[in-house]
Structure 1
Amino acid sequence: MNSRVVNILVPVISIIIGLIVGAIVMLVSGYDPVQGYIALWEGIFGDSYSIGNTIRQITPYILAGLAVAFAFRTGLFNIGVEGQLLMGWLAAAWVGYAVDLPRIIHLPLALLAAAAAGAFWAFLVGFLKARFNVHEVISSIMLNYTALYVMNAIIKQITDGGYKTETVAETATLRWQWLRDITDNSSLHLGIIVALLMVLLMWFILEKTTRGYELKSVGFNHHASEYAGMSVKKNIILAMTISGVFAGLAGAMEALGTYQNASIKAAMSGIGFDGIAVALLGANTPLGVVFGASLFGSLKYGALNMPNAAGIPEEIVSIIIALIIFFVASGYIIRVVLEKMGKKKEAK
């Protein structure tokens, strides 16, 4: 069987198995799985309002997934996407209300500020890895919590003890009235266009540029790349920095689109950590991340309808998502089965 076909079938089969096992969990827990999945479907696609909010939910997941996937493709594990996202969130919110400029300049400037903040936070991880050989998992986890408390401290400082920043100016918001009108006043915003442009950018960098080839080469084999004359340290730092750009923009989606401010947080948003699952579901490819984020975001938003429409707690959806991730992570078994089936067909 063609390897490309196998790569497509593995996550699809994993999702189907996850949904089936999820139905069994609902049944065992005393809930009607048919009603549960109908409620989930209606929560996602029931009307234009639901569709708009679902797309809005998907948007930051795409960018967080790209951040994780880009690092994976270059041999790094960026588990610090959450912290980079928070830094991007804060930077975008601050530029969004503190600067008075025309929309054509203000909005791009706020997005660039978020990208720069995320890139800087990820650069620290790359620098520590390249210069002192500090494992990126350790440093990025630590910087996640540093970002959380730095963000809270800065918000308190710039608001004189308040708990959230001012609302971003109209010239910096990602919201567009036309999108809200066609989706029955949902929270859909222009961020989805930014996210899809970043999907194309990641594909272009990795597949169509010499630098992208170097980044993948260094991730695949440090020693061979160094022997070929590539700067391993430089590429490690660059890979993490680019990954941070995507993460910072994910924060901008929340700051300029969904919430239109930055507020003090008692805990992580979770989007950055969910990006790991999104990248895993998408096999670390740009297009795969779009599908992974679509599944993840749809389930997250659709879950909100399950308690009201079917009396099923949202935790059941969390179990279903966890099951899907489990089966995707165990995809090696499914891959082996599919390859054996393909060999049998060829033998016949």
Structure 2
Amino acid sequence: MERDSKLKTFVENIKFPLLAILLSFLIGALFIIWTGNNPLVAYGALLSGSLGGLDRFGQTLLKTTPLIFTGLAVSFAFRCGLFNIGAEGQYVIGALTTVAAGYIFNSIFGDLPRFIFIPLVMLAGALGGALWAAIAGFLKSKLGVHEVITTIMLNYTSIHVSNFFVRTALNPSTLEGTTQKAYTVLLPESARLTQLKEIIPWFGYSSVHTGIFIAIICAIIAYFILFKTTLGYEIRSVGQNSHAAEYGGISVSKNLVLAMIISGMFAGLAGATQVAGLNYKVDMAPISPGYGFTGIAVALVGKNHPLGVLASALLFGILSNGARRMQIEGIPKEVVGIIQGIIIIFIAGERIIKFVSEIRERRNRKCNVEGVN
């Protein structure tokens, strides 16, 4: 009986996202036909470019990795009733603190063993994102400042903070006396994640690294925290009804801050794994890379469930990596953006329908009560 109930809940949760994905691909096919191309050729190129071989699949996983982290960041906060739009800024700060920690630890202790150095820089990235997110959590819990406003503002602030350190304290010209660069010092080699092609040569040109395994482990940890611990129960209770949770003895203020801190840790780890596994430095840039904003879409499609985020991030990774192959076949790369946008519209439409139906039910109950009286 319990198994049937869980199966029914699972089907209900995935039914609408799958329908949204199917419809978005059908509508995308109409746009492809409109451009004078064959949808079968386009989608064949999409699958071939993202899944056609271990090297291409590796590149898909590479693009999926940061999206898992930022999707987890958004979904975890949302479970507490918080809309964390600041995963982008937390990603940037996480990347910056990873490089800073690598340089500081290397300067003090020299070339540390990988099994010590890598966890240290990962922890630094996670703490950087957590501290940045904690600002919004504190302002929300203590002063009632809406997290959407603060996280958007902190996104822009993070870029300027990062660029400041890239130009000054972490610039090679400052530390090594060389010509000023538009990037930070490089992360020491013993602090870098292993690329899978070094272990499995079949990954070919792919730059996918062990950060993908860290991301999967984090999704499992997020699931365990939310659904198997007292903290997770409290966070979900606050997200469902903060007044009822407070009446039941749950500290709303504490859980708001904790949810944002954990959310920021996931986003910070996205920056940490990108630096330690791929870039090895932080570049000075006028804009952020966009992983945090895509993470919002990943969380929505994944129904704010950690395991759903894994599947959703893979979908967006496939679309992102396959877009280049589609472009080679003469298909406009904007088609992928259209598909992603339509998926989000359908997912948002489901929430709007539920919201409207809940309002109607409340009105009907109110009318029934007034009719009885």
> TM-score by structure 1 length?
0.92
What's the offset of the Cα at 1:4? 2.9
Q: Tell me by how many angstroms 1:32 deviates.
A: 1.8
Offset of residue 97 of structure 1: 4.1
1:180 & 1:252 partners in 2: Cα distance? 23
Is the partner of 1:248 in helix, strand or coil?
helix
Rounded Cα–Cα distance in structure 2 between residues aligned with 1:37 and 1:321 = 14
Q: What does 1:111-150 correspond to in 2, within 5 Å?
A: 111-150=122-161
- Distance in 2, matches of 1:187 and 1:89, equals 18
Other-structure match for 1:241: 261
What one-letter code is carried by the residue in structure 2 that aligns with 1:226?
E
Equivalent position of 1:326 in the other structure: 345
Letter in 1 for 2:185: E
Amino acid corresponding to residue 228 of structure 2 in structure 1: K
Change (3 A) 1:33 1:195: same
Q: Are 1:166 and 2:185 an aligned pair?
A: yes
1:102 correspondence with 2:108: no
Name which one, 1 or 2, has greater alpha-carbon Rg. 2
* C-alpha distance in 2 between matches for 1:29 and 1:285: 37
Counterpart residue identity of residue 307, structure 1: Q
Runs of 4+ in 1 over 4 A off after TM superposition: 332-335
**Of 224-233 and 83-92, the range deviating more from structure 2:** 224-233
Deviation digits for residues 255-297 of structure 1, max 9, x if unmatched? 1112121111121211000000000000000110001100011
CA distance in 2, matches of 1:307, 1:2: 40
Residues 144-172 of structure 1, C-alpha deviation per residue, up to 9 Å, x if partnerless? 00001100111111214421112222211
Contact 2:166/2:183 (8 A) holds in 1: yes
Q: Per-residue CA shift, 1:49-90, capped at 9, x if unaligned? A: 111111111011001000000011111100000000000011
1:345 maps to none
Aligned-partner residue type, residue 36 of structure 2: G
Q: RMSD value over aligned CA atoms?
A: 1.8
Shift of 1:179: 4.1
Q: Distance in 1 between matches of 2:201 and 2:101?
A: 27
Q: Give 1:94 deviation, angstroms.
A: 2.5
Which residue does 1:282 correspond to in 2?
302
Equivalent residue for 1:93, pick from 73, 89, 99: 99
Q: Counterpart of 1:8 in structure 2: which amino acid?
A: I
Alignment partner, residue 154 of structure 1 = 165
User: Does structure 1 retain, via aligned residues, the 8 Å contact 2:24–2:339?
Assistant: yes
Counterpart mapping for 1:1-348 below 5 A: 2-98=8-104, 99=106, 100-157=111-168, 158-159=170-171, 160=174, 161-176=180-195, 177-179=197-199, 181-308=201-328, 310-331=329-350
Greater alpha carbon shift after TM alignment, 108-117 vs 208-217: 208-217
Distance (whole Å) between structure 2 residues aligned to residue 134 and residue 209 of structure 1: 28
Shift of 1:180: 5.8
Percentage of identical aligned residues: 46
CA shift in 2, pair 1:334/1:44, >3 Å: farther
Long gaps (5+) in structure 1: 336-348
Q: CA deviation at 1:2?
A: 3.4
Unmatched tracts of structure 2, length 5 or more: 1-6, 175-179, 355-373
How far does the alpha carbon of each residue in 1:198-246 deviate from its partner, in whole angstroms, 9 at most, with x for none? 0111011111111111111112222222222221111111110000000
Deviations 1:310-339 (A, max 9, x none): 11121111111111211222235999xxxx
SS of 1:88's equivalent in the other structure is helix
Q: 2-side partners of 1:81 and 1:214: how far apart?
A: 22
2:14 partner amino acid: I
In structure 2, distance between residues paired with 1:60 and 1:179 = 21
CA 1:180–1:88 in 2, change beyond 3 Å: closer, same or farther? farther
Total equivalences in the alignment? 335
Cα gap change, 1:271 to 1:24, in 2 (>3 Å): same
- Greater mean alpha carbon deviation, residues 312-321 or residues 289-298: 312-321
Correspondence for 1:341:
none
Contact 1:11/1:331, CA 8 A, preserved across alignment: no
1:182 Cα deviation from its structure 2 partner: 2.7
Whether the 8 Å CA contact 2:227–2:233 is kept in 1: the answer is yes
Quick one: distance in 2 between partners of 1:105 and 1:4? Answer: 40
